[in-house]
Amino acid sequence: MLLLRRCHSLTRFGPLNTQRHQVTPAVASCAARLCSSSSSSSEDHRSHQRVHSLSWKHALAGLLAGTGAVLAYGLHHQHKAERADTGVQTLKKSSSLPIFSQEEVTKHRSLEDGIWVTYKGGVYDITEFVAMHPGGDKIMLAAGGALEPFWALYAVHNQEHVLEILSDYKVGELNLEDLKKQQAVKSSDPYSSDPERHPVLHINSLKPFNAEPPPEILSDSYITPSAFFFKRNHLPVPQVDPASYQLHVEGLPGGALTLSLEDLKTRFPKHTITATLQCAGNRRSEMNKVKLVKGLNWGIAAISNATWSGARLRDVLLAAGYQPDVAQWARHVQFEGLDTDVTGTTYGASVPLNKAVSEEGDVLLAYEMNGEDIPPDHGFPVRVVVPGTVGARNVKWLGKIIVSAEESSSHWQQNDYKGFSPGTDWDTVDFKSAPAIQELPIQSAITTPADSATIDRSDGTLTVKGYAWSGGGREVVRVDVSLDGGKTWQAAQLRSGEKGQAPEPSPPPGRAWAWKLWEITAPLPPDAQELEIVCKAVDNSYNMQPDTVSPIWNLRGVLSNAWHRVKVKIRKDEEEE
């Protein structure tokens, strides 16, 4: 009965498994491995399910990924995010419950023995909750220990309703001695040194920090000012001392190469490109309206455009011993960030070798953004900029480059940032069946007017603005705009520079890394009281955007690039007074 009530309350957070036997394969296999020390001979009754071959280290990285984890909570409670950061409110006290030692708690780290955790002196048996955790497997990391350090990392948990859920699972109290020991280990906030951010940003997650600017800012400026550039962090922002910064380049026949920031700036030509970066989850909120997905509820502004300067990755690889025959065995270039989770695992990703070494690939080890040092939120002192490629591969706070026959084994390369059929759900998904997202498909959106806005009839015309971009260096060649929901279309004016200034020079074929802003002023239909404005873009491979969201829906809510639709009301003349 208690379980049923809890399940009911959880349906607010998305489509979760509500029966224990539906525990996901990843949880099962992880649990099997986690419990192997205490019950190595017992065979989990779900072990017939596929067991991933990921190493322990990378499984942990996945558990801590912070991508899907916190986000289902966040879907409905973003507005509470900042307030929640002030800390815990109340927890039900149940003084009649038994007292446990830490040693006893630590024995409960598997689905067989039960999953116990502690929080502020309470002991909780969350075994039944594991399969329902909106963030998936990551919860297993806390098994047998304290929740506090994890909730410090994924601060979205610090909300009243999360505590309410937790309180239902309380089974006892931690003895006073062990509680004191826990408290002696100060659980400092790993985000305490995150930089200040501009208050205009719309925050989708505070810890890690994920935020987007108001859409109208995007179309007001061809180059997005760094303060307004969307932020997508997976972990706390690392503090890197530029004087002692080292970049390690590994995997090439000549042996490892280590470069200082000064080396990067002085030993290699400085190369500058203008490139748009877009999060794979941009416009995920539109997929959530079809059916809830796991992931940050991005609006249309998880995309921005900047100039980037730095050494070309190609030049650095050549300096490190790259020669064409390396391509006979190597296929990928892996990147590791200096941002780490509680286990010390870094953020990681990889790109195809041919993109990395091509003269036309324009991959940079960038130390400047918009003409200044890259700000902390964007990767100070060095980030990879892989133009035309999904944001997730543009690794920030770059610490290591590895030339390899294999893709990065990181969670984000292997088990995230991939697209699936709309018919695939979390019970049937096989992450090995889909390629890691690299180039992104054609995209566009209307930045103004905003959805649900009311428009003055005024001079009888309406101006619509937006952005359009495509991955892989494919240039946007046309944006069609409709004021009647897609029945009729007009081509918009495209712009590839600041308004009133000369456009940026036309890029060579296949190297159009930057977006185009677009604008159209059209007569308002005389009697219309409402309009459905739609935009769709075309790139120079004549790729078009799909018409609707539902057929491209996928369980991670990535690649949301259907026509963008905005409904506006038109104020009658008499209302204008």
Measured in whole angstroms, how far is the alpha carbon of residue 481 from the centre of its chain? 29
77, 283, 312, 355: which one contacts a copy of itself (CB under 8 A)? 355
536, 556, 564, 565: which one contacts a copy of itself (CB under 8 A)? 536
The stretch among 193-201, 340-348, 460-468, 541-549 that binds a copy of itself (CB under 8 A) is 541-549
137, 339, 407, 480: which one contacts a copy of itself (CB under 8 A)? 480
| Options 77, 157, 234, 314, the catalytic residue | 157
Strand partners, 484: 532
- Tokens 């927890």 found at: 91
- Closest to a copy of itself by CB, 255 vs 485, is 485
- Closest to a copy of itself by CB, 257 vs 489, is 489
Measured CA angle at 342 (ends 234, 432), to 5 deg? 55
- Helix pair angle (56-63, 25-34), 10° resolution: 130
For residues 179 and 118, give the distance between their C-alpha atoms in angstroms, rounded to a whole number: 9
Q: Nearest approach, Cβ of 478 to a copy of itself (angstroms)?
A: 6
Give SS3 for 195: coil
| Options 58, 77, 108, 232, the catalytic residue | 232
Strand partners, 249: 257, 401
* Phi, psi values for residue 389, rounded to 5°: -115, 145
Could you confirm whether 30 is annotated as catalytic?
Answer: no
> Which of these, 415, 457, 406, lies nearest to 437 by C-alpha position?
415
- Closest to a copy of itself by CB, 160 vs 360, is 360
Give SS3 for 548: coil
| Options 119, 154, 222, 279, the catalytic residue | 279
Q: Nearest approach, Cβ of 329 to a copy of itself (angstroms)?
A: 13
Which residues from 302-341 bind a copy of itself, rule CB under 8 A?
331
159: tokens are: 């909300």
532 binds a copy of itself (CB under 8 A): no
301: tokens are: 């502004």
551, 567, 572, 573: which one contacts a copy of itself (CB under 8 A)? 551
Whether the CA torsion 322, 325, 329, 332 is positive or negative: it is positive
- Of the CA atoms within 13 Å of residue 576, those in its CB half-sphere come to 9
Pattern 392-431, binding to a copy of itself, x per CB under 8 A? Answer: ---------------------------x-xxxx-------
101, 323, 488, 493: which one contacts a copy of itself (CB under 8 A)? 488
Report the chain's C-alpha Rg in angstroms.
25
134: tokens are: 């909106």
Q: Nearest approach, Cβ of 374 to a copy of itself (angstroms)?
A: 27
Q: Nearest approach, Cβ of 9 to a copy of itself (angstroms)?
A: 30
Which residues from 163-182 bind a copy of itself, rule CB under 8 A?
none
507 binds a copy of itself (CB under 8 A): no
- Closest to a copy of itself by CB, 58 vs 511, is 511
Secondary structure percentages of the chain, helix, strand, coil, to 5: 25, 25, 50
Measured in whole angstroms, how far is the alpha carbon of residue 194 from the centre of its chain? 17
Q: Nearest approach, Cβ of 188 to a copy of itself (angstroms)?
A: 40
Which residues from 85-104 bind a copy of itself, rule CB under 8 A?
none
383: tokens are: 């980030």
| Options 133, 314, 383, 393, the catalytic residue | 133
| Residue 254 DSSP one-character state | T
Which residues from 242-261 bind a copy of itself, rule CB under 8 A?
none
- Tokens 């912070």 found at: 66
Q: Nearest approach, Cβ of 180 to a copy of itself (angstroms)?
A: 53
477 binds a copy of itself (CB under 8 A): yes
Measured in whole angstroms, how far is the alpha carbon of residue 42 from the centre of its chain? 37
The 10 Å CB-count burial string (b at 16+, else e) for 149-176 is bbbbbbbbbbbeebbebbbbbbbbbbbe
- Closest to a copy of itself by CB, 214 vs 419, is 419
Could you confirm whether 133 is annotated as catalytic?
Answer: yes
15 binds a copy of itself (CB under 8 A): no
509 binds a copy of itself (CB under 8 A): yes
Pattern 436-455, binding to a copy of itself, x per CB under 8 A? Answer: -xxxxxx-------------
| Residue 342 DSSP one-character state | T
54, 538, 566, 568: which one contacts a copy of itself (CB under 8 A)? 538
Number of amino acids touching a copy of itself (CB under 8 A): 46
Q: Nearest approach, Cβ of 352 to a copy of itself (angstroms)?
A: 4
- Closest to a copy of itself by CB, 226 vs 561, is 561
- Closest to a copy of itself by CB, 225 vs 422, is 422
Q: Which residues contact 496 (CB under 8 A, 6 or more apart)?
A: 222, 503, 504, 506, 514, 516, 517
121, 149, 225, 546: which one contacts a copy of itself (CB under 8 A)? 546
CB 547 within 8 A of CB 563: yes
Whether the CA torsion 493, 498, 500, 502 is positive or negative: it is negative
Between the CA of residue 154 and those of 27, 149, 251, 367, 557, what are the distances in Å?
Answer: 19, 9, 34, 29, 20
516 binds a copy of itself (CB under 8 A): no
Q: Which residues contact 290 (CB under 8 A, 6 or more apart)?
A: 549, 550, 553
53, 354, 454, 458: which one contacts a copy of itself (CB under 8 A)? 354
Measured in whole angstroms, how far is the alpha carbon of residue 11 from the centre of its chain? 23
- Closest to a copy of itself by CB, 368 vs 475, is 475
For residues 422 and 562, give the distance between their C-alpha atoms in angstroms, rounded to a whole number: 14
CB atoms within 10 A of CB 266: 10
| Options 154, 222, 417, 467, the catalytic residue | 417
Could you confirm whether 157 is annotated as catalytic?
Answer: yes
CB 270 within 8 A of CB 311: yes
- Closest to a copy of itself by CB, 157 vs 355, is 355
Binding site for a copy of itself (CB under 8 A): 331, 352, 354-355, 360, 419, 421-424, 434-435, 437-442, 471-472, 477-478, 480, 486, 488-491, 508-510, 536, 538, 540-548, 551-552, 559, 561
Residues acting as catalytic residues:
133, 157, 232, 279, 417
